[in-house]
Structure 1
Amino acid sequence: MLDFELVAALKTENIKLKNENKLFRIILDHVSEGVQVSSADEIMLYYNAACEKIENISRDECLGKSLKEVYSKTNLTKDNTLHRVVRRTKVPVLNSYNQYNTKNKLTEVFSSTWSFDIDEELSGVFSILREAAPARNYLEDITLLKQKEKSELPAHENKTPKYYIFDDIIHTSKAMTDCIAYAKKVAPTDANIMLYGETGSGKELFAQSIHNASLCAKGPFVAINCAAIPDTLLESILFGAEKGSFSGAVLQKGLLEQAENGTFFLDELNSMPLSLQAKILRAIEMRSCRRLGGIVDIKINCRFICSTNIEPQELIASKTVRHDLYYRLATVIISIPSLRERIEDIDCLVSMFIDEANQRYHTHVIDIEPLLINIYKSYSWPGNVRELKHDIDSCVLLSNSSFLSSKYIPGYLYKKYTVNNESFSTTELQPNKRAEIGSTSLHMMMENIECEIIKNTLAKCEGNISMAARMLGIHRQALQYRIRKFETSE
């Protein structure tokens, strides 16, 4: 009797568990996210309806089969590295971006993977998959709405800030931090300032930031590039002209007058002719100027900031700038570090320029290949930040994926990298690798180098993808993407 009751109770419990299991399967088949479960030995245990739709693979094709067999005809993976890493480390990998082909369909998903251990017979990993396309569409819709909202604003509300401030100078390096701190210290004074820095290092960015942190921030910021204007026109533009002072002349206020109670920025002072330097020196000393053809001195009240891409002492030694004008304008000298002197700023600058390019060109680049970052950090950047920005813009426009690829950079940049990077010089390559050079395309060589970097880093980190991603200075999702790509090509 007791045995009969026990059997009946077990039968009832079994029916209950079957019904619960059936209910859970029905629920999971109605969620929009894909759910898949695989065992510790990489056998597919569960695959819901959303997964069938997302990956274009039926349950009959994958349940009870190995992951390698299920995805053998895709470019996703060969040995399921992600599965093994999560299984071994017990550390979940969240929001990993994957792109692969299944039955002539391009599949783009964000997946999150966790491990589970219920008992010795039931352990493995499970993944939640979300299609990437809707997220991209939402992003595009939001961007369009923001643009529409901005275009419908009244004119006075639709203006962008006129000048830069110190907070706009993106950096992490100590060199730039110290430079900004120095500039902030002298900004509130009325001292004239000379900015020295290489082309593209951000001299006008500093000039505008100093203006906004000064006592004359409410006044105008007037700038002139001495190299961009012919000598014959420069004087009338600086000092103004009276009507009839020369053929076709009309009454014209000079830039010095327009800078009243503000800041006057002389960009590329070293390009100003010596004859005009004497006249602007007098204007600074007398705090007044006279228009061309005029007879009345006009009072001027502004702060002077100048810039040069030649070392300050060289300006005097080469007699490019009059020494008396130099000492009037260079009360304070601020040397702006070049990009190669603050190489650690490249990561944050690249991120900022990618965001700006995405907004400007309506693209959706979310990360950058580790090899490209290494190339950027090994390059000397003679054009400094401006050159980096232009290169990022070019790569974003040429890229046809969510990741910025090194194959789109100019050839000279890659050549500099291979010459300077001893670890990848042809003299250190194995004989069979040296033989490949000349018969392999530039892109393939770059891919091979990147693959070696990733393999070596993963080996050092004992397969820990999160740690390897941190060492390479990229997001974990980007590293996952590269691992899968290289596994497919092997």
Structure 2
Amino acid sequence: MISSKKLYFILDQILQSIDEGVHVVDNKGKTILYNQAMAELEGMKLEEVIGESLLDVFPSLNDETSTLLKVLETQKPIVDQVQTYFNNHSKKITTINTTFPLYQEGEKIGAVEIAKDITKIKNLSDQVLTLQQQLIKPSPPYKSEIKRYTFENLIGKSHIFIEAVQLARRAANTSSSVLIYGETGTGKELFAQSIHYHSNRKKKPFLAENCAAFPESLLEGILFGTIKGGFTGAIDRPGIFEQANGGTILLDEINSMGLQLQGKLLRVLQEGYVRRIGGTKNIPIDVRIIATTNEDPLKAIKEYRLRKDLYFRLNVVNIQLPTLAERPEDIVLLTQNFINKYNERLDKDVWMVSEFMKERFELYSWPGNVRELENVVEGAMNMVQDEHILKQEHFPMYLTSEMKRNKGNIGAKQFAGLPLDSRQSLDEILNDIEMQMIIYAMSESKGNISQTARKLGIKRQTLQHKLKKHKRKEV
């Protein structure tokens, strides 16, 4: 049987090897376990904390504000609570803590806290709120240096895209909630801004928040605001619902918001007022909500990541954006638009993209959608010198694939369209097929040489040699 001393040693070794901070105190609030991750998080040394009273080491805390001491008193767990405090070196720390009591044979013997450092994230959220407050100061009328997008910025002639634009134009004439579903890079925020700036709220603020950017506890404060004393380190500050009053809020990636916060958001939408964290006052608000999701919302509901009642509350107007692969007739039009944009920005004189690359663009599947197209055009524009045409050598090699990506593996069906010249030797035909497989693997790996080599089961140097050989052949 393992002795208590040896068991303690094993436990301490485990705690010192994990990334999360761990702090254990006894019933008197003295530290008995404290790992290196917590020491680094709090800017302390192990010997400064172990065996010492919690309040001596962290003088800014007290029986009410310390989550460890509060759990010792109430014997109730505290989950994912934001805490801002200072160590005895006056270093400011912001953490998300989960704290719970410890029992032995039914008797309380202490408390343990598991913490994650979110100091940088907290500072970022404070900056977001401060900047958003500054944005609305010039109102009325509302002015901002941030790029505004309107329906004139939505470029496309495909039937499926025009239908989405027409639906968005009709939505601009109402104040109902809108849910926009589209893959990453399809232009969801452009549609949201276009709706706002063509509505009767266009002179009021348009504020956007990415629900995936912050932990739920911080996001709640960003949305609804905080009251000084609401939690340790909290200050009096309005959330974006108050800041955007009369205007529009874009909640990007709503499917990434925690279910508990989704419930609070639903209540705000239904009741028309917010209550700041730690506050008791109900603050009336008048905002229009445009929410976006980068995955099928019905799938998110089925997987319990999106509340069904919130979905129905937001999905008054539903707009589904097509992928770029679903609107191939728009690719050349968009490409020319990006050429014009980066001609001005990069001081270039490019006229067009080559016919060869136009064909390749239509064959490629564009998993990153319009955003990926813009990125590759920008990259190509940086490669040209005095040329007026963007050619194959200006673009990543994976774009030259003659095959669209699909869900299957490389097989005979994908090579059915490979032109076979009866005048070619068998070696030449096999070389062509080999290059097609390389190009396909490159497209799957987004141009990453190492990943492509692993997919093909060959050495990296071998792949580089084959690529050089193919390039010499083209020249």
Correspondence list, 1:260-339, <5 A: 260-339=245-324
Which of the two has higher C-alpha Rg?
Answer: 1
Correspondence list, 1:416-427, <5 A: 417=403, 425=418, 427=420
One of 176, 181, 188 as aligned partner of 1:203 = 188
Query: 2: CA distance between counterparts of 1:177 and 1:342?
Result: 10
2:233 matched to which residue of 1?
A: 248
1:431 matched to which residue of 2?
A: 424
One of 389, 393, 396 as aligned partner of 1:407 = 393
In structure 2, the CA distance between the partners of 1:405 and 1:440, relative to structure 1 (3 Å rule), is farther
In structure 2, the CA distance between the partners of 1:163 and 1:230, relative to structure 1 (3 Å rule), is same
Query: 2: CA distance between counterparts of 1:439 and 1:326?
Result: 51
Query: 2: CA distance between counterparts of 1:358 and 1:268?
Result: 32
Superposed CA offset, 1:171-216 (max 9, x none): 1111111111111112111111100111100000000000111121
1:357 matched to which residue of 2?
A: 342
Return the letter of the residue paired with 1:167: E
* Cα drift, residue 230 of structure 1: 2.2
1:374 matched to which residue of 2?
A: 359
1:482 matched to which residue of 2?
A: none
One of 137, 156, 159 as aligned partner of 1:171 = 156
Contact 1:187 1:211 in 2 (8 A): yes
Query: 1: CA distance between counterparts of 2:162 and 2:181?
Result: 16
1:340 matched to which residue of 2?
A: 325
Contact 1:240 1:255 in 2 (8 A): yes
SS of 1:431's partner is coil
In structure 2, the CA distance between the partners of 1:159 and 1:189, relative to structure 1 (3 Å rule), is closer
One of 180, 187, 199 as aligned partner of 1:214 = 199
**Residue 239 in 1 paired to residue 224 in 2?**
yes
Query: 2: CA distance between counterparts of 1:391 and 1:202?
Result: 16
1:70 matched to which residue of 2?
A: none
Contact 2:363 2:401 in 1 (8 A): no
Identity of aligned pairs, percent?
A: 38
Contact 1:419 1:425 in 2 (8 A): no
SS of 2:176's partner is coil
In structure 2, the CA distance between the partners of 1:232 and 1:347, relative to structure 1 (3 Å rule), is same
Query: 1: CA distance between counterparts of 2:382 and 2:188?
Result: 27
Q: TM-score, normalised by structure 2?
A: 0.57
**Greater relative contact order, per chain length (Cα 8 Å cut-off, separation 6+):** 1
* Cα drift, residue 366 of structure 1: 1.2
1:223 matched to which residue of 2?
A: 208
Correspondence list, 1:26-37, <5 A: none
* Cα drift, residue 377 of structure 1: 0.7
**Residue 188 in 1 paired to residue 181 in 2?**
no
In structure 2, the CA distance between the partners of 1:355 and 1:305, relative to structure 1 (3 Å rule), is same
One of 382, 385, 393 as aligned partner of 2:370 = 385
Return the letter of the residue paired with 1:404: L
* Cα drift, residue 298 of structure 1: 0.9
Bigger proportion of residues as helix: 1
Query: 1: CA distance between counterparts of 2:255 and 2:232?
Result: 29
Query: 1: CA distance between counterparts of 2:370 and 2:165?
Result: 16
Superposed CA offset, 1:144-174 (max 9, x none): xxxxxxxxxxxx9x98674211111011111
Superposed CA offset, 1:229-269 (max 9, x none): 22231111111111232222221110111110001111001
Query: 2: CA distance between counterparts of 1:411 and 1:159?
Result: 40
Query: 2: CA distance between counterparts of 1:437 and 1:367?
Result: 34
Correspondence list, 1:55-74, <5 A: none
Query: 2: CA distance between counterparts of 1:411 and 1:422?
Result: 19
Return the letter of the residue paired with 2:382: L
User: Unaligned regions of 5+ residues in structure 2, if any?
Assistant: 1-140, 407-413, 440-473
User: Unaligned regions of 5+ residues in structure 1, if any?
Assistant: 1-155, 447-488
In structure 2, the CA distance between the partners of 1:258 and 1:431, relative to structure 1 (3 Å rule), is same
In structure 2, the CA distance between the partners of 1:161 and 1:246, relative to structure 1 (3 Å rule), is closer
Contact 1:418 1:425 in 2 (8 A): no
In structure 2, the CA distance between the partners of 1:424 and 1:266, relative to structure 1 (3 Å rule), is same
Query: 2: CA distance between counterparts of 1:288 and 1:429?
Result: 75
Query: 2: CA distance between counterparts of 1:160 and 1:197?
Result: 27
In structure 2, the CA distance between the partners of 1:210 and 1:439, relative to structure 1 (3 Å rule), is closer
SS of 1:313's partner is helix
In structure 2, the CA distance between the partners of 1:391 and 1:430, relative to structure 1 (3 Å rule), is farther
Q: TM-score, normalised by structure 1?
A: 0.55
SS of 1:241's partner is coil
How many residues align? The count is: 291
Contact 2:172 2:195 in 1 (8 A): yes
Query: 1: CA distance between counterparts of 2:426 and 2:353?
Result: 26
Contact 1:192 1:328 in 2 (8 A): yes
Contact 1:395 1:404 in 2 (8 A): yes
Query: 1: CA distance between counterparts of 2:182 and 2:383?
Result: 31
